[in-house]
């Protein structure tokens, strides 16, 4: 039976265009989706937009339009960028989708009928950009003002009648899931949440907003004067996306769900989400895969800081989706923030993509056409290249299953470098019988290209077409597996960028 794989991105706030921070998460999720397709699994990949709440309401008001009109205008922009980056999602969910609003209402009804929701008064300091309340030990103080540590802006005092969700009743169960299972990855993040739970506990959460303050949201099914708190609305998208409550595929995909998120929204996706799922009698996610930030000049990218790098900026410099995707994944670090450093990216682009991969493909292409009229038959296999290929396949399989994408790219490039060195050594341009050398070089190029396919879907397809092979499922990938290559052309894959320092 085919294995299944379900991967999600956070649903992004469409109050602004997505930038490379959002692309970082989305490309990571896409690479996992493509990797699992390449492993022959049934894959479902969900992304989308988080459209309700105060932040969106205010963004729309600022533009002088209704919230729905505003988000309707923004969604095509997100879809455009994801198309540009070749994001292969199966569904783009919007929290304003009818089926999602139904799921939110049904879930809230269930929680209410189980006696898990009660009325009360909430008082606290709120950041509308984070859409969350900040406690005394979380906010910062400057000149007597309470400041959001993430957006560096003043918090607002909110005091209102609301409804609470009894998260506290689930504290012990949640702590066990966080501490004693391997759901949260990498484990440093699990320790962080466990220690927060141990220190502060899991407090009941205000899950309603009075409509006279926040009108833009899903109405509470048991009190029409309120809308549902945007984070509860948003988290439930992961259930809606695969047909919760109405589709047989739900069980299949839910049991293998991987939530890819940035570390800023870890608490919501663990403490709060695990408790909500327990309340709904839905099993916890299989994985919450957390990554750190891309930072610029030491700070998380943000409009107020003025250090945002847009997706267009990346395309202007590195031309194609494949190279942008490669560079983002090459930078990827789950544990540590990485600085956006153009010089470093230029060097990776020129040195790895253009000089190593591009050059190799061009060389084997040109030589095959010139020396063998493009027909390269299988000859004796080179032992060393064959062994290196086998090792690289094995290591990449392990690394990818451990979410070590950057490391797996480095490994694959070791094979490409070895192949370039092999060409230098065997010199097919001057020997009488160049076929053994060219066959082995193309074969190793094929193996590497196949492994690079999830990260660079178009360029690898272009290489496969030019050199005359197919991208195959990874378990069918074997050195010497191709009898004959009919090489059609020798494409130039990457145009070099002028490095700022050169
Ligand atoms: N709408 C919520 C998520 C709800 S999910 C049920 C939200 N949206 S967001 O638009 O603010 O996106 C946050 C996510 O964008 C982060 O978790 C991360 O995945 C990504 N990133 C935004 N900036 C980033 C960086 N500078 N670096 C890396 N990822 C970043 O929160």
What DSSP string runs through 462-492? HHHHHHT-----GGG--TT--SEEE------
**CA 216–ligand 1 middle distance (angstroms):** 21
Q: How confident is the model at residue 218 (pLDDT cuts 50, 70, 90)?
A: very high
Backbone conformation region of residue 240, classed left if phi is above 0, alpha if psi is from -120 to 50, else beta:
alpha
pLDDT tens for each residue of 148-178:
988 888 999 999 999 999 999 999 999 999 9
Is residue 148 annotated as part of the catalytic site, yes or no?
A: yes
User: What is the pLDDT at residue 304?
Assistant: 74
User: What is the pLDDT at residue 303?
Assistant: 76
User: What is the pLDDT at residue 135?
Assistant: 87
Do 353 and 493 form a contact (C-beta atoms < 8 A)?
yes
Query: Residue 230: which of 242, 243, 218, 212 has the closest Cα?
Result: 218
Gap between the Cα atoms of 397 and 411, Å rounded: 11
Gap between the Cα atoms of 480 and 382, Å rounded: 9
Gap between the Cα atoms of 232 and 104, Å rounded: 8
Give the residue-averaged pLDDT of 21-37.
Answer: 98
User: What is the pLDDT at residue 30?
Assistant: 99
Give the residue-averaged pLDDT of 195-215.
Answer: 95
Is residue 105 annotated as part of the catalytic site, yes or no?
A: no
**CA 27–ligand 1 middle distance (angstroms):** 13
User: What is the pLDDT at residue 323?
Assistant: 98
- Secondary structure percentages of the chain, helix, strand, coil, to 5: 50, 20, 35
User: What is the pLDDT at residue 151?
Assistant: 85
For ligand 1, is residue 25 a contact (CB within 6 Å)? Answer: yes
Gap between the Cα atoms of 191 and 197, Å rounded: 10
Do 452 and 464 form a contact (C-beta atoms < 8 A)?
no
**Which residues partner with 91 through β-bridges?**
46
How many other CB atoms are there within 10 angstroms of residue 373's CB atom? Answer: 10
Angle 415-418-421 (CA atoms, 0-180°, nearest 5)? 155
Catalytic residue among 287, 291, 300, 411: 300
Q: How confident is the model at residue 11 (pLDDT cuts 50, 70, 90)?
A: very high
Percentage, residues of the chain above pLDDT 70 = 99
Is residue 106 annotated as part of the catalytic site, yes or no?
A: no
Torsion over CA: 261, 266, 269, 270 (sign): positive
How many other CB atoms are there within 10 angstroms of residue 58's CB atom? Answer: 16
Q: How confident is the model at residue 384 (pLDDT cuts 50, 70, 90)?
A: very high
User: What is the pLDDT at residue 500?
Assistant: 63
Residue 93 CB partners (closer than 8 Å, separation 6+): 11, 46, 47, 48, 49, 100, 237, 240, 241
pLDDT surpassing 60 at residue 182: yes
**CA 204–ligand 1 middle distance (angstroms):** 24
pLDDT tens for each residue of 345-369:
999 999 999 999 999 999 999 999 9
Q: What is the DSSP string of 96-133?
A: TSHHHHHHHHHHHHHHHHTT-EEEEEEEEEEETTTTEE
Catalytic residue among 62, 66, 303, 425: 303
User: What is the pLDDT at residue 152?
Assistant: 85
Closest residue by Cα to atom 25, ligand 1, is 21
User: What is the pLDDT at residue 82?
Assistant: 98
Q: From the CA of 50, give the closest atom in ligand 1.
A: 1
**CA 86–ligand 1 middle distance (angstroms):** 19
**CA 10–ligand 1 middle distance (angstroms):** 7
Residue 335 CB partners (closer than 8 Å, separation 6+): 186, 188, 292
Is residue 19 annotated as part of the catalytic site, yes or no?
A: yes
Do 262 and 25 form a contact (C-beta atoms < 8 A)?
yes
Closest residue by Cα to atom 6, ligand 1, is 235
35: helix, coil or strand?
helix
User: What is the pLDDT at residue 202?
Assistant: 97
Give the residue-averaged pLDDT of 60-86.
Answer: 97
User: What is the pLDDT at residue 501?
Assistant: 57
Is residue 300 annotated as part of the catalytic site, yes or no?
A: yes
Give the residue-averaged pLDDT of 431-438.
Answer: 98
Query: Residue 152: which of 300, 53, 279, 366 has the closest Cα?
Result: 300
For ligand 1, is residue 59 a contact (CB within 6 Å)? Answer: no
Is residue 130 annotated as part of the catalytic site, yes or no?
A: yes
Query: Residue 24: which of 241, 260, 197 has the closest Cα?
Result: 260
Catalytic residue among 52, 127, 269, 411: 127
For ligand 1, is residue 132 a contact (CB within 6 Å)? Answer: no
Q: Which domains does the chain have, with CATH numbers?
A: 342-486 (1.10.730.10)
Q: How does the average pLDDT of the chain come out, rounded? A: 96
Gap between the Cα atoms of 491 and 488, Å rounded: 9
**CA 262–ligand 1 middle distance (angstroms):** 6
pLDDT surpassing 80 at residue 72: yes
Is residue 287 annotated as part of the catalytic site, yes or no?
A: no
Is residue 286 annotated as part of the catalytic site, yes or no?
A: no
Q: How confident is the model at residue 247 (pLDDT cuts 50, 70, 90)?
A: confident
User: What is the pLDDT at residue 153?
Assistant: 87
User: What is the pLDDT at residue 265?
Assistant: 97
For ligand 1, is residue 264 a contact (CB within 6 Å)? Answer: yes
**CA 16–ligand 1 middle distance (angstroms):** 12
306: helix, coil or strand?
coil
Q: What is the pTM of this model?
A: 0.96
For ligand 1, is residue 11 a contact (CB within 6 Å)? Answer: yes
Give the residue-averaged pLDDT of 69-86.
Answer: 98
């Amino acid at each position: 039976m085919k294995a299944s794989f379900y991967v999600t991105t956070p649903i992004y706030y469409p109050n602004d265009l997505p930038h490379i921070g959002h692309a970082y998460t989305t490309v990571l999720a896409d690479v996992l989706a493509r990797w699992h397709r390449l492993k022959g699994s049934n894959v479902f990949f969900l992304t989308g937009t988080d459209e309700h709440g105060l932040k969106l309401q205010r963004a729309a008001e600022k533009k002088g339009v209704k919230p729905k009109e505003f988000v309707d205008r923004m969604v095509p922009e997100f879809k455009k960028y994801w198309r540009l980056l070749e994001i292969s999602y199966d569904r783009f969910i919007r929290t304003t989708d009818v089926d999602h609003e139904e799921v939110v209402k049904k879930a809230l009804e269930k929680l209410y009928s189980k006696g898990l929701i009660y009325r009360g008064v909430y008082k606290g300091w709120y950041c509308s950009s984070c859409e969350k309340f900040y406690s005394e030990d979380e906010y910062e103080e400057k000149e007597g003002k309470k400041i959001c540590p993430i957006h560096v802006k003043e918090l607002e005092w909110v005091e209102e009648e609301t409804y609470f969700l009894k998260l506290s009743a689930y504290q012990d169960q949640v702590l066990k899931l966080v501490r004693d299972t391997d759901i949260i990855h990498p484990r440093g993040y699990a320790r962080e949440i466990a220690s927060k739970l141990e220190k502060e506990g899991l407090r009941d959460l205000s899950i309603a907003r009075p409509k006279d303050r926040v009108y833009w949201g899903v109405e509470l099914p048991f009190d029409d004067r309120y809308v549902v708190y945007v984070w509860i609305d948003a988290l439930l998208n992961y259930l809606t996306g695969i047909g919760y409550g109405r589709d047989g595929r739900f069980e299949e995909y839910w049991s293998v769900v991987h939530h890819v998120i940035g570390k800023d929204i870890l608490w919501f996706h663990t403490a709060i989400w695990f408790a909500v799922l327990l309340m709904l009698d839905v099993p916890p996610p299989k994985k919450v895969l957390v990554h750190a930030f891309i930072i610029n000049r030491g700070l998380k990218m943000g409009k107020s800081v003025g250090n945002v790098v847009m997706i267009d900026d990346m395309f202007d410099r590195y031309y194609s989706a494949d190279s942008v995707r490669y560079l983002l994944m090459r930078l990827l670090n789950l544990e540590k923030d990485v600085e956006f450093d153009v010089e470093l990216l230029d060097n990776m682009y020129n040195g790895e993509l253009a000089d190593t991969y591009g050059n190799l493909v061009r060389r084997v292409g040109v030589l095959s056409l010139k020396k063998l009229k493009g027909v390269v038959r299988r000859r004796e296999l080179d032992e060393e290249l064959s062994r290196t290929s086998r090792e690289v396949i094995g290591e990449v399989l392990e690394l990818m299953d451990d979410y070590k994408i950057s490391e797996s790219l480095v490994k694959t490039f070791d094979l490409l470098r070895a192949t370039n060195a092999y060409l230098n050594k065997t010199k097919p341009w001057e020997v009488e019988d160049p076929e053994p050398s060219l066959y082995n070089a193309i074969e190793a190029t094929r193996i590497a290209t196949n492994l690079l396919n999830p990260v660079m879907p178009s360029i690898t397809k272009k290489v496969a077409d030019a050199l005359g092979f197919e991208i195959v499922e990874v378990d069918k990938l074997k050195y010497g597996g191709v009898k004959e290559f009919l090489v059609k052309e020798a494409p130039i894959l990457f145009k070099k960028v002028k490095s700022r320092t050169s």
